[in-house]
Structure 1
């Protein structure tokens, strides 16, 4: 088990989908390059904050281009989430898919309720990221109530299928 890392987790895994996620990232990268070029050719410093802002947005969303890297999944030890770690099965109290209303759209969110503090629930802790990855998008966030939340909309499998697979594995490995 000591050889588990974010690229080699085994078991059931889900990645980012290849649908429309690339387009905004490539567009903002091109816009950042245009702003940088405008700053260079016009010698206008006022283009640099625009270039920096669009480049920062692109950099933050770069993990969405890693469609071959597992984002979330499960194996015999528990549920793994990129940039979080491996949550052991016995530390999970509930696994739910909750619809979240955000302005004019409804998205699906996987909520993993823990029955232990996060530090003791993790078998393997991947929260310490290399310096270059710390400002990049994380697929999870921890609520004040100790619930790990994962937005499943950009993933390559439907929320119901992910939920069903996690529940089936949770019931099997917990017993």
Structure 2
């Protein structure tokens, strides 16, 4: 069975985006970007909600061709293009870049994907992750916490129906006070 990981950058007060979908506070040091690259290279399938898909697909298809792109950014763009993706949306008409669109039941599709052979899957986007969490499909949480308070926006976790006890399996610090924590169920 494939493992499903939910991991994103978040503010210290628990948001993945500030009001207005502002993510400018989540800048990465070279070391953190390299860490993200290594994490993404280990993923066999990306699962995106519409908003995160639109953000990623607006930059990474040509991210390796941007002026001043670092070697890690070039490799990230290549990996992003090459890794299969499933986009969950009822409003998009089509997707590109090695992706397929699912407009139906996300829980049923993620459950099916978990039974397939292959590397770990990463779910991205708070709404899609909340759906997977409520269905008990997430196996691991990775929080990349930036030392900033944004005061509101899109939370990493939506309201839960009850407690979820987690086991801490890793912590790591990066320049600028960024702390990575990884938890399993």
- Bigger CA radius of gyration: 1
TM, length-normalised to structure 2:
0.27
TM, length-normalised to structure 1:
0.28
Structure with larger RCO (C-alpha < 8 A, sep 6+)? 2
Greater helix proportion: 1
